């Protein structure tokens, strides 16, 4: 019996069909890989945002905490500085004291949030029940600070940082990267007497403007400073509202039009967006590389547990 091989036509048909199958398989593999990368990026963004809000929430709930076992705890504290502070559209240096000497050039007008609280336990490090945003214990011999701001690392990537005062001085550590904007509003109790409920949420600049309009009593500068500390609006803060917009670490295929992110809602952006920069972020204004990142907005409102020391505007 004679055996016959493939003809040239049959061979070409077989090769063509095989190539089509390989191209189809390659396309499916590329699509599956792209979907897998997108899922990884979405999960990483979600994890980073939830982690940052958890740290900020924990720090905010410690704001204005007073250790009543301190020797000076029973003294009149009406003239003490406010325990909550902030700045609009500013960034910070790592080693400066607190939020002194703020710097311009904040990423998309990102804000600064600072909370101060008493420590517990013996120095150094306390008993571990009160910690800064970096996780370091704060002893009863000192006040702790948790300060949040956005800065750029050596590669130019924007990151949310935690600034704190340690045994060797001030320092700052990165919490998460890929930050598009970090915005803060403060819940102001305007009632007299104060009832502990926020009547409005305003920016740090609005609080500073209202403080600047106070008519201070006192015969000299120290007396006026004491009156200011008693009456500053920063001592009437009863809540903190935080919005954080972050993106993934690498571009992914996005089958959608560029989005507009209103960090505190469209109504706030329309009304206060010109004065409070960064509350509206437009993907269309970003570079092509940044525009094609996985991106998500996170919000939290924290009601402060500890009453303000004083404050009657």
Predicted confidence (pLDDT) per residue in 32-68, tens digit: 666 656 677 778 899 999 999 999 999 999 888 777 6
Domain count of the chain?
1
Q: For residue 178, give its domain range.
A: 38-303
Q: Domain for residue 24, yes or no?
A: no
The Cα-based distances of 144 to 63, 73, 217 in angstroms read 10, 15, 31
Q: Domain for residue 8, yes or no?
A: no
Q: Domain for residue 32, yes or no?
A: no
- State yes or no: pLDDT of 303 exceeds 80: yes
Q: Domain for residue 33, yes or no?
A: no
Q: 155-208 pLDDT, tens per residue?
A: 899 999 999 988 778 999 999 999 999 999 999 999 988 888 999 999 999 999
Q: Domain for residue 13, yes or no?
A: no
Q: Rounded CA gap, 243 and 188, in Å?
A: 17
What's the order of all strands across the beta sheet hosting 143-152? 84-87, 112-118, 143-152, 158-166, 169-177
pTM for this predicted structure: 0.85
Q: What's the number of CA atoms in the CB half-sphere (13 Å) around residue 14?
A: 6
Q: Domain for residue 311, yes or no?
A: no
Least confident of 21-35, 118-132, 254-268: 21-35
Before 50, cis peptide (omega within 30)? no
Q: How many CB atoms lie within 10 A of CB 14?
A: 11
Least confident of 4-13, 48-57, 101-110, 229-238: 4-13
Q: Which positions ≥6 away from 199 have C-beta within 8 Å?
A: 188, 189, 190, 191
Q: Domain for residue 92, yes or no?
A: yes
Q: Domain for residue 177, yes or no?
A: yes
pLDDT of residue 20: 84
């Amino acid at each position: 019996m004679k055996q016959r091989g493939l003809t040239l036509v049959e061979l070409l048909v077989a090769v063509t069909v095989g190539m089509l199958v390989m191209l189809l398989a390659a396309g499916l593999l590329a699509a599956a890989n792209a979907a897998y990368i997108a899922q990884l990026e979405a999960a990483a963004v979600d994890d980073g945002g939830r982690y940052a809000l958890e740290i900020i929430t924990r720090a905010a709930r410690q704001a204005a905490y007073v250790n009543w076992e301190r020797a000076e705890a029973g003294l009149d504290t009406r003239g003490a500085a406010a325990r909550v502070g902030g700045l609009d559209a500013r960034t910070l240096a790592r080693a400066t004291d607190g939020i002194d000497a703020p710097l311009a050039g904040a990423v998309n007008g990102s804000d600064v949030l600072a909370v101060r609280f008493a420590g517990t336990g013996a120095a150094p490090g306390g008993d571990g029940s009160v910690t800064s945003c970096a996780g370091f214990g704060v002893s009863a011999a000192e006040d702790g600070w948790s300060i949040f701001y956005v800065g750029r690392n050596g590669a130019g990537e924007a990151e949310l940082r935690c600034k704190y005062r340690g045994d060797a001085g001030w320092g700052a550590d990165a919490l998460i990267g890929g930050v598009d904007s970090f915005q803060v509003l403060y819940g102001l109790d305007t009632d007299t007497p104060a009832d502990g409920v926020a009547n409005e949420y305003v920016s740090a600049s609005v609080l500073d403007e209202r403080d600047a309009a106070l008519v201070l009593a006192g015969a000299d500068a120290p007396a006026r400073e004491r009156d200011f500390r008693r009456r500053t609006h920063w001592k009437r803060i009863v809540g903190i509202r935080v919005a954080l917009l972050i993106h993934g670490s690498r571009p992914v295929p996005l089958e959608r039009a560029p989005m507009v992110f209103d960090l505190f809602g469209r109504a706030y952006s329309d009304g206060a967006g010109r004065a409070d920069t960064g509350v509206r972020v437009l993907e269309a204004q970003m570079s092509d590389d940044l525009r094609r990142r996985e991106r998500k907005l996170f919000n939290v409102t924290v009601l402060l547990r500890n009453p303000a020391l004083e404050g009657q505007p």
